[in-house]
Amino acid sequence: MRQLIIIGASGHGKVVADCAAKNGYENIIFLDDDKNVTHCGKYKVVGRSKEAARMSGDVIVAIGNANFRRKIQTSIAENRLSTLIHPEAVIGDDVEIGVGSIVMAGVVINSGSRIGKGVIVNTSSSIDHDCMIGDFVHVAVGAHLAGSVLVDDNSWIGAGAIINNNLHVCSSCMIGAGAVVVKNIEEEGTYVGVPAKRIMNKC
Ligand SMILES: CC(C)(COP(=O)(O)OP(=O)(O)OC[C@H]1O[C@@H](n2cnc3c(N)ncnc32)[C@H](O)[C@@H]1OP(=O)(O)O)[C@@H](O)C(=O)NCCC(=O)NCCS
């Protein structure tokens, strides 16, 4: 029986579990560092994240915060990491998806794109041709990246945001929900609005 250990029993964890079940995992269990959390949807929380090392089964980290996701994922041997692609996602030719990444339902990733490790490509978002998405990026629900967009490690593209084609978003940026990015973003920070403007120098 295929077992998957999901680290992080949040709402995001529930969606990851749905996707895992559609990928053929029959035994799904959760680990979470909050000892007060006992369940994630219908699944049990059976221990803390550090216990993954001594348990058998594949592992995926379902934590939204990029720094925590990176820290936990890099503590786990790569050959134990699962990569989940929902059967209702559309993946073009010559697309590479790194270990520990998850591609949710309704996503389209077009030809020639590269998706890093530990990336969340969330429900109904799209990544057009020849995009380069760094490690531990989150493309939130309904966000759209036009062709040849480059997003560096750890950045978060908020729900419904749009990044125009050929643009670069540097690492550790937060692009707010509904923002439209029309110029390269070369400084870390939080950007909101149409066109997107920096409102904070950190994310
Ligand atoms: C951008 C964001 C991170 C800012 O959150 P925050 O640091 O808590 O900032 P605040 O809510 O204090 O907002 C600061 C200012 O920016 C404005 N603002 C915040 N988010 C905005 C957005 N998405 N678009 C336009 N303006 C926004 C606020 O109205 C506020 O303006 P004011 O100072 O004139 O009142 C957050 O609002 C956001 O958009 N998060 C993305 C959520 C998301 O996509 N989730 C996806 C889950 S899959």
CATH label of the domain that carries residue 137: 2.160.10.10
Q: How confident is the model at residue 1 (pLDDT cuts 50, 70, 90)?
A: confident
* Whether this model's pTM surpasses 0.85: yes
Which ligand 1 atom is nearest residue 12's CA? 48
Q: How confident is the model at residue 126 (pLDDT cuts 50, 70, 90)?
A: very high
The pLDDT tens digits of the residues spanning 54-68 come to: 999 999 999 999 999
Are the CB atoms for 40 and 6 separated by under 8 Å?
yes
Which ligand 1 atom is nearest residue 143's CA? 44
Are the CB atoms for 66 and 154 separated by under 8 Å?
yes
129 assigned to active site: yes
Q: Quick one: 61 and 98 in the same domain? A: no
Q: Quick one: 95 and 55 in the same domain? A: no
Average pLDDT, integer, range 176-199: 98
Range of the domain at 13: 3-80
Residues with beta carbon inside 6 Å of ligand 1?
Answer: 122, 140-141, 158-159, 174, 176-178, 190, 192-193, 199
Q: Quick one: 118 and 196 in the same domain? A: yes
